[in-house]
Chains A and B, each alone.
Chain A
């Protein structure tokens, strides 16, 4: 995306007053060869200054009945506010990626189900806040039941 297009995007976001949220996609959406092997990419919607957004990513899982948490690194694409998440969690058990983001005073979260070929939007949940432990447990139970 060119700087001009980015500026237009930022202005239009501010003008429309979109709610701050996260959007996920397969790695190809980042348009960055550096992120091509990421498990998925995400970006903010409704954040006036994506470059200053704070994000935290964790893999939350249940392996042999035990809850596990693996902190994940988020890798910046060239476009501000676009990040890649790599598969750094074990292959056994059931896992989701818990994204927590802050833009100025607004928060957003997502519980992302990741399949073999990228994120599964239908099985993921998008929240106007950081996900609670209960929501993470419920999401893991739901995934485990499938």
Chain B
């Protein structure tokens, strides 16, 4: 079994329906097969989503309407198509209604004696010595360090949202992107499939540090895309800080702090940048305020990595979104 993928068994495995010997063999295979582990993760996500949908009987009015429509139409093929469309619409409408109607799950909490679970609107606060862990539905965990205060804003299958008032959390999320959000006074951390630390004070000043995957930090339409191994600073009332790799030279990160503060220090930033600091330079393309500065950033970037096929200098300098995205995805291969 170790040499044969077990894709066809994953659903039964996730549902706990395998007999003990098969389950043990599947366990043994999953321990050594990353592809099947990834498959199991996908299957589990799908099963959880399906489990959230209730079995619902269509209202009589819908069936009556379908029946009347069928009577009116002589062409049976067209009627069948209409019926299929109506049924599909009913399913979609039921799913949308359910997701919007659901008041929210309750999430388990460990580490606080008086609090075993939390739901929408609940506060969680750790004391000076206490730590706590929140199991965020079935998509991951959030660890809270001492002196952390947060609130559950949304607890639905398609949106898990916390508000971090102050303190420090460590989030580890296994769900697909954009299902987990943490709001602070300085913006929102949007999970793109990742593990990260988020630290902030009551004003929202702090930082985001990513250990795995990507996080998008967003504020008023402005965005910092932070990959594993990188961080960005957060400041209340300002756009998210420009992301930088944690191993950046001190001169570079100091110059970046100045740039994020008052827009100065661009020459120092460009002079001290390394190849992998194109992460930072890519963000600067949209943050510098003059075309001359944008050109300087662009020229420094192409000195590290050529433009990918299909992306031109004009595309970049005119901030064409698709071209910028394509270049970023190529640059990531050099980080």
Q: Which residues of A contact B (CB under 8 A)?
A: 1-2, 4-5, 8-9, 11-12, 23, 25-29, 31, 33-38, 43, 73-75, 84, 86, 88, 117-118
Contacts and interface: CB of A to CB of B under 8 A. Distances in A.
Given A36-B194, A73-B35, A31 B333 contact: no
A49 B94 CA distance: 43
Contacts of B229: 26, 28, 117-118
Interface in B283-335: 308-310, 322, 326, 329, 332-335
A75 B38 contact: yes
A43 B308 CA distance: 15
A1 B326 contact: yes
B interface, over-half SS: mixed
B227 A8 contact: no
Given A1-B326, A33-B177, A33-B193, A28 B332 contact: yes
Contact of A31 (B32, B310, B332): B332
B332 A84 contact: no
Nearest to A33: B193
Contacts of B332: 25, 28-29, 31
A84 B310 contact: no
B41 interface: yes
B266 interface: no
Contacts of A38: 34
Contact of B228 (A5, A9, A28, A74): A28
Nearest to B31: A88
A10 to B, nearest CB: 9
B121 to A, nearest CB: 29
Contacts of B41: 34
Given A9-B309, A26-B229, A86 B213 contact: no
Given A29-B335, A38-B34, A8 B212 contact: no
B192 interface: yes
B176 interface: yes
A122 to B, nearest CB: 12
Contact of B329 (A11, A26, A31, A74): A31
B34 A28 contact: no
B333 to A, nearest CB: 5
B67 to A, nearest CB: 44
A35 to B, nearest CB: 8
A25 B184 CA distance: 32
A43 B212 contact: no
A31 B35 CA distance: 17
A25 B42 CA distance: 24
Contacts of A27: 212-213, 228
A73 B33 contact: yes
Contacts of B212: 27, 36-37
B158 to A, nearest CB: 16
B282 interface: no
B35 A75 contact: yes
B214 interface: yes
Interface string B160-200: 00000000000000001100000000000000111000000
Contacts of B192: 33
Contacts of B177: 33
B333 A25 contact: yes
A24 to B, nearest CB: 8
A62 B322 CA distance: 46
Given A11-B309, A33-B177, 12 more contacts: A9-B308, A12-B309, A25-B332, A28-B228, A29-B329, A33-B176, A34-B38, A34-B41, A37-B212, A73-B34, A75-B34, A75-B38
B335 A28 contact: yes
Contacts of B326: 1, 5
Contacts of A73: 33-35
A29 B305 CA distance: 15
Interface in B22-43: 32-35, 38, 41-42
A118 B32 CA distance: 20
A88 B37 CA distance: 12
Nearest to A74: B35
Contact of B193 (A1, A4, A36): A36
A2 B33 CA distance: 29
A117 B214 CA distance: 15
B334 A28 contact: no
Contacts of A37: 212
